[in-house]
Amino acid sequence: MNESGDFSDMQFVVLSGPSGSGKTTIVERLLERSKIKLIKSVSATTRKPRKNEVDGENYYFLTHDEFARRREQGEFLESAEVHGTGNWYGTLRSEIERARQQGGWALLEIDVQGAVQVMHKYPRALTIFLKASSEADYEKRLRGRGTDSEEIIERRLANARKELEQAPQYRYQVVNDDLDRAVGEIVNIISSWRQ
């Protein structure tokens, strides 16, 4: 942290979008293609790991008690209960510190509630809302991904409708129709971002 004890000297890129909009896929490509060095913040969550997810890489998987303890101690920049599942997600301040030490901009892939918290703390944050081209695409992609049960897919779709209403709060909205095109558009937005 800087002398004032916050991250006001840091640049944040915040990417949100409904489940199935393609955030995870786009982040992987952005890390390769961005001209500005981006350091992906690894979030903490209380949800259980999916098959192939690795602790410390995809997320820091915490128990509810551990998450609550760290939250009370002020270790999170932002945190929220996401998708009404009772699971918490949050960005640890230590991840932003890591980005600073590595000399890059912090890239946060977080939900709308978390993004609003970051916007209030850091009005200079570059916020991008990712969308699929149509409502039917979310369902198609979530089913195609094959990682979630029917009940979870239904809940994510209901949540998507609510999240889409929040899109106008973001500085940019990007449609992930063609993957390469969408990544190119975001690379350009980041490169031309001067605040």
Q: Is 111 in the site for ligand 5GP (CB under 6 A)?
A: yes
Q: Which of residues 157-186 bind ligand ADP (CB under 6 A)?
A: 176, 178-179
- Tell me which of 109, 132, 182, 186 binds ligand 5GP, using CB under 6 A: 109
Phi, psi (5° rounding) for residue 168? -65, -15
Q: Which of residues 13-72 bind ligand ADP (CB under 6 A)?
A: 17, 19-25
- Tell me which of 89, 105, 122, 129 binds ligand 5GP, using CB under 6 A: 89
Q: Which is nearer to ligand ADP, 19 or 43 (CB)?
A: 19
Burial of 29 by CB count in 10 Å (0-12 exposed, 13-18 middle, 19+ buried)? middle
Q: Is 82 in the site for ligand 5GP (CB under 6 A)?
A: yes
Per partner kind, with CB cut-offs from 5 to 8 A, the member of ligand ADP, ligand 5GP, none near residue 91 is ligand 5GP
C-alpha count within 13 angstroms, C-beta hemisphere, residue 118: 36
- Tell me which of 19, 34, 46, 127 binds ligand 5GP, using CB under 6 A: 19
Q: Which of residues 123-152 bind ligand ADP (CB under 6 A)?
A: 141, 144-145
